[in-house]
Structure 1
Amino acid sequence: MTNDELVANVRTVADTVQTTLGPFGANKLLVQQDGTVTATASSTELLERFDITDPAMTLLQTAASGFGDRYGDGTGTVVTLAGALLHEADGLAEQGLHPSAIEQGYRDGLDSALDAIEHTAHPLSSFGAEAVAKTALTGTRDPQVRQSVAAQVANVVENVGADASDSVRVVSRSGGAIAETELLNGVVLERGPILESMPRSLERDGIAVLSSSVDVPHVGSQLGDVSRRVVFEADSFEDREGIAEYESEAFTEQLRAAIDAGCGAIITERAINERVQTQLAAEGILGIQRVDTDELRAIARTTGATVVPTLGQVSESVLGRGAITVQRKAGRDMTVIKSDAGEPAHTLFCRAPDPRTVTAFEHSVETAIAATAAAVRDGRVIPGGGAVEATVSQAVKAEARSLTGRQQLSAEAFGTALMTVPRALAKTAGLDGGRTVVQLRVARSEGRDSVGVDALAGTTADVLGDDPIVEPVRIKKAILTAATDLATQLIRIDDRLQAVDLSDDDVEPEETTAQGQETPPGQGRNA
């Protein structure tokens, strides 16, 4: 197989992903094998939901996922640029360039691009963190929503610091007032107590965090190593009644011991059985069930609790400490857990434009937090809207002229590939991609390096003007590096092999004599 055939699916996905860039990125209707239908314009969600079996596609998904996990932003641009570099590599290969020459030229182009970004950078203080958040917040086109949420994101980063992308969780609800967007200090669960009769705040500050179901202990149940198993059979009604009474009393003793230790709330990863829910409510215990594993761990870290399997293992030493309040938001109960006992936690509660875009909007807010945190950490930004790509493309091509041999061709191709980003932004905004690229090049020839695509205005303009469009330097440099690494890795693929035993089973071993010596040629049993 040729390289073109081996990475054909990668180029197809890259072409699809580039149409999701920008605030006007096209929605994709993704139909999974189980019949689940998802409409999304989020490149991250799109890549996560692809059912992938192709090895080259697996490399793409792994690289994109790893980049998203580390930087929280730029996944779609990485895939778009990687696809553009592969497309340029096809043309270079037709001209006779070896993959090694293409890779070297791309590496030279990358070095020139990174240098150009450094010269294009501006201080963050000239524009403010809110401008970065607003640029990255592509999940809504409503100017009021963007302004409100961007201000909250900037506030989050200022309060939490440059590690905000790791310590802030985003929760969004559709509809409602924009004013309901707020930063909550603590862990927020998108659920309330299992019974209305349970308290909506703690009477005792002890919080038990469990990993299994809350139920009456069964006769014969035992934790840890079991050295002997006893089978108890209850044939009569009286025996069964006695067992039920014994189990109920055992649960009451466990619950009383937990309350004496200061327990006021039970939060579990599994279920709280219906037959004990009323008893918990009667004792003033707030019970929350079926909590996600990551949320459970966050609660434990924040409150200083130790996660234990059962209620019977709850003691004062494993209880977390904090305050819990149940609040009504967007027509649903939400539980806020605050504590100073462990690591600080923060949740940004915001309003999504409509029910169909809640997930994509959450991704967009998370991206905005990551981008803003990266800009705060580095203290520098660059023009967005494809402006920096246009400037860097020109610089790369100018530097390529100093190279000799075929590396010059591949370095120039690297510069050409960079223009894929502003072209894609223009197309998703309803502009003519080719004409936009020409306009950006003319602007560079006139020394106007901050001219880019203002998708919301539907035109090319100075993106550092009254409503600045800016991106963090750190993430942009990482995007170019990751896209180049991914593309060169795929370019160098020349064959696809199955990871099986490659030995030739049809080759017969040479015969040996009784003493273990090889049989001389022509003296085998058939000689």
Structure 2
Amino acid sequence: MACMVNEELVTGVRTVCDVVETALGPFGANKLLIQRDGTVTATASSTELLDRFDVSDPAVTLLDTAASDFHDAYGDGTGTVVTLVGALLREADRLAERGLHPTAIERGFREGLDIALDAVDGAAHPLSAYEPDDVARTALTATRNPAVRRSVSAQVADAVAEAGPEARDRVQVVSRTGGATAETDLVSGVVIERGPVLESMPRSQHGTGIAVLSSTVDVPHAGSQLGRVSRRVTLDADSFEDREALRERESEAFDERLAAAVDAGCGVVITERAINERVESALAAAGILGVHRVDADVVDRVARATGATVVPTLEQVSAATLGTGDVDVRRKAGRDMTFVTSDAGEPTHTLFCRAPDPRTVRAFERSVEAAIAATAAATRDGRVVPGGGAIEATAARAVDRAARSLSGRQQLAADGFGNALLSVPRALAATAGVDAGQAEVRLRVARTEGRDAVGIDVLAGTTADVLGESPVVEPASLKAAVLTTAAEAAIQLIRIDERLDATDLGDEEEIEPETESADADADAEAARDGAP
């Protein structure tokens, strides 16, 4: 009897995969997510769908973790990973019904994966034959406006070119509701979505020292100490005079620290925590521009861009810890924002995105982040493959041909892996309004004729050479990572045969107290009967 894939365990996974599959590509269907608190979100972003799912099923948790880890590592391609996992599970069901054991399915899938990876490698083209803009435009699925796609993809390519292969860390994406996506602007430097804490503070500081702090800017408290405490002192100030003297001493101590920071060249203070109200005026009087409650990742970005060292408090600020650069407060999208530019540290850029409504702006921001990640990956690897499902169709053809040389059950499983690869062009065709069955036939025929660049032209709504006038290309390294991650996740799910609660694996059941008491009474009675 065949060992079937555990239906109960993977049903939830299949549901998630089916939902994500229909959201693939620029024409992916929107989903209405209704959360427990009543919040309603409309999105076609695969990443946002997975982020907002209220997951409790352990198998779905495995899939969600794999997809999240992939997104954190690569920034693009998460939807394709989930789509392929769903297709591989469907193939595993079909194979199990034909009598294949999960071990045989795993071996065939791994064989198919190796063949598919070789096909991706063989179909790769040098990036120099195309443009980084083409990679960015392919990943920019949140807009179908040709002019916007050209403009934004060009800005993404410029940002990646200046920031280098590590552009995901060096290019910030800031989005704001209001305006049109065509108003997206590439800014040199870091954008902080806050203005000065006090209106009387300067709005521009050029060529000045920039202090980057991780904690609150406030007057020091008597007895406060950084680092290991070797002695604890209790100070009682009961009278008004004592409390006033203590307050004056704390204020004098802060003035001394502030004067030392100014003497070191500090003109700007940017902190992750708050700038207390009682010291705002002192900073303004000293000519310092202060910005507080800045996100930790932005604080880190400012430090890397300006060459600053992040220190805990104003007391640790010195000429050695200060960064240098220009800081300007500008009005953008109806609010003050602080722009930090510098040549002292790493090249840093910000893409400032606009969109007419909250749903659109979030989707556009995610799409721009994916475009940055894809372009950076292509720049690192220097190779691209045809998009629009073309590379999956080519890999499926290679698996189909190679599987014929395999024996028995392994051949069936490898062939199933190849069939699963075609789920990507089928999904793209379906969301673009193209007959998925006819599109698959055309892709197969094109491969037999040696036309491996034929894929789904989603915007045109047909099958076509995707390397033509407006190339649709994806990073070869990213595509290989997608196939590998999807295969590993599917195999992990296929190999599960039972769900066990960890609480059931504890110590052996303890003897009931009543039983212990009854046994003790019986022993006592037996002893009395046997007594002389």
Residues 1:63 and 2:66 aligned together: yes
Q: In the alignment, which residue of structure 2 is the partner of 1:48?
A: 51
Q: In the alignment, which residue of structure 2 is the partner of 1:363?
A: 366
Residues 1:27 and 2:30 aligned together: yes
- Select the residue among 380, 391, 395 that pairs with 1:377: 380
Aligned AA (1:371): A
How many Å apart are 1:179 and its aligned residue? 6.5
CA-to-aligned-CA distance 1:212-243 (integer Å, 9 cap, x gap): 11122233333333344444444444444333
Taking structure 1 as reference, are residues 227 and 11 closer, same or farther at Cα in structure 2, changes over 3 Å only? same
How many Å apart are 1:356 and its aligned residue? 2.0
How many Å apart are 1:173 and its aligned residue? 2.8
Secondary structure of 1:125 counterpart: helix
More displaced stretch, 430-439 vs 16-25: 430-439
Secondary structure of 1:365 counterpart: helix
- Distance in 1 of aligned mates of 2:206 and 2:117: 58
- Distance in 1 of aligned mates of 2:155 and 2:232: 58
Q: In the alignment, which residue of structure 1 is the partner of 2:389?
A: 386
- Distance in 2 of aligned mates of 1:469 and 1:2: 37
Residues 1:435 and 2:438 aligned together: yes
Residues 1:200 and 2:229 aligned together: no
How many Å apart are 1:376 and its aligned residue? 2.5
- Select the residue among 330, 334, 340 that pairs with 1:327: 330
Q: In the alignment, which residue of structure 2 is the partner of 1:283?
A: 286
- Distance in 1 of aligned mates of 2:375 and 2:316: 43
- Select the residue among 447, 462, 468 that pairs with 1:444: 447
Let me know the Cα RMSD of the aligned residues.
Answer: 2.3
Q: In the alignment, which residue of structure 1 is the partner of 2:212?
A: 209
- Distance in 1 of aligned mates of 2:225 and 2:395: 66
Q: In the alignment, which residue of structure 2 is the partner of 1:304?
A: 307
CA-to-aligned-CA distance 1:268-296 (integer Å, 9 cap, x gap): 11111122212211221000000111111
- Distance in 2 of aligned mates of 1:71 and 1:322: 31
How many Å apart are 1:77 and its aligned residue? 0.4
Q: In the alignment, which residue of structure 2 is the partner of 1:397?
A: 400
Give matches, 1:312-323, under 5 Å.
Answer: 312-323=315-326
Aligned AA (2:104): A
How many Å apart are 1:87 and its aligned residue? 0.9
Aligned AA (1:272): I
Secondary structure of 2:408 counterpart: coil
Secondary structure of 1:424 counterpart: helix
- Distance in 1 of aligned mates of 2:124 and 2:299: 41
Aligned AA (2:24): L
Aligned AA (2:94): G
Aligned AA (2:458): A
Aligned AA (1:186): G
More displaced stretch, 350-359 vs 479-488: 350-359
Secondary structure of 1:206 counterpart: strand
Q: In the alignment, which residue of structure 1 is the partner of 2:164?
A: 161
Residues 1:337 and 2:340 aligned together: yes
How many Å apart are 1:133 and its aligned residue? 0.9
Maintained 8 Å contact 2:76/2:373: yes
How many Å apart are 1:485 and its aligned residue? 1.0
- Select the residue among 30, 33, 42 that pairs with 1:39: 42
Aligned AA (1:432): D
- Distance in 2 of aligned mates of 1:238 and 1:284: 32
- Distance in 1 of aligned mates of 2:434 and 2:353: 31
Give matches, 1:63-462, under 5 Å.
Answer: 63-176=66-179, 180-202=183-205, 205-352=208-355, 354-462=357-465
CA-to-aligned-CA distance 1:112-166 (integer Å, 9 cap, x gap): 2122223322332333211111111001122221110011112122223333233
Q: In the alignment, which residue of structure 2 is the partner of 1:518?
A: none
Maintained 8 Å contact 2:148/2:182: no
Secondary structure of 1:208 counterpart: strand
- Distance in 2 of aligned mates of 1:396 and 1:345: 43
How many Å apart are 1:204 and its aligned residue? 6.5
Secondary structure of 1:453 counterpart: strand
How many Å apart are 1:256 and its aligned residue? 1.4
Aligned AA (2:446): A
Aligned length: 508
Taking structure 1 as reference, are residues 96 and 125 closer, same or farther at Cα in structure 2, changes over 3 Å only? same
Q: In the alignment, which residue of structure 2 is the partner of 1:511?
A: none
Maintained 8 Å contact 2:326/2:341: yes
CA-to-aligned-CA distance 1:384-412 (integer Å, 9 cap, x gap): 11122222222211221221111111111
Secondary structure of 2:339 counterpart: strand
Taking structure 1 as reference, are residues 11 and 119 closer, same or farther at Cα in structure 2, changes over 3 Å only? same
CA-to-aligned-CA distance 1:437-462 (integer Å, 9 cap, x gap): 23323333444332221222222222
Maintained 8 Å contact 2:134/2:472: yes
Taking structure 1 as reference, are residues 237 and 504 closer, same or farther at Cα in structure 2, changes over 3 Å only? closer
Aligned AA (1:266): V
More displaced stretch, 175-184 vs 371-380: 175-184
More displaced stretch, 292-301 vs 119-128: 119-128
Maintained 8 Å contact 2:388/2:455: yes
Percent identical across equivalent pairs? Answer: 69
More displaced stretch, 398-407 vs 175-184: 175-184
Maintained 8 Å contact 1:140/1:353: no
Which ranges in structure 2 are unaligned for 5 or more consecutive residues?
A: 512-532
Taking structure 1 as reference, are residues 227 and 111 closer, same or farther at Cα in structure 2, changes over 3 Å only? closer
Maintained 8 Å contact 2:163/2:348: no
How many Å apart are 1:507 and its aligned residue? 8.4
Taking structure 1 as reference, are residues 150 and 2 closer, same or farther at Cα in structure 2, changes over 3 Å only? closer
Maintained 8 Å contact 1:203/1:284: no
- Distance in 2 of aligned mates of 1:358 and 1:230: 54
CA-to-aligned-CA distance 1:338-384 (integer Å, 9 cap, x gap): 23333332222233354322222122111111212222233322221
- Distance in 2 of aligned mates of 1:318 and 1:122: 46
- Distance in 2 of aligned mates of 1:126 and 1:262: 49
Aligned AA (1:453): I
Runs of 4+ in 1 over 6 A off after TM superposition: none
- Distance in 2 of aligned mates of 1:142 and 1:175: 18
Maintained 8 Å contact 1:82/1:483: yes
More displaced stretch, 98-107 vs 54-63: 54-63
How many Å apart are 1:481 and its aligned residue? 1.2
Taking structure 1 as reference, are residues 469 and 203 closer, same or farther at Cα in structure 2, changes over 3 Å only? closer
Maintained 8 Å contact 1:321/1:341: yes
- Distance in 1 of aligned mates of 2:507 and 2:335: 65
More displaced stretch, 152-161 vs 343-352: 343-352
Maintained 8 Å contact 1:136/1:367: yes
Maintained 8 Å contact 1:181/1:350: yes
Aligned AA (2:223): G
Secondary structure of 1:205 counterpart: strand
Maintained 8 Å contact 2:206/2:326: no
- Distance in 1 of aligned mates of 2:396 and 2:206: 63
- Distance in 2 of aligned mates of 1:19 and 1:278: 56
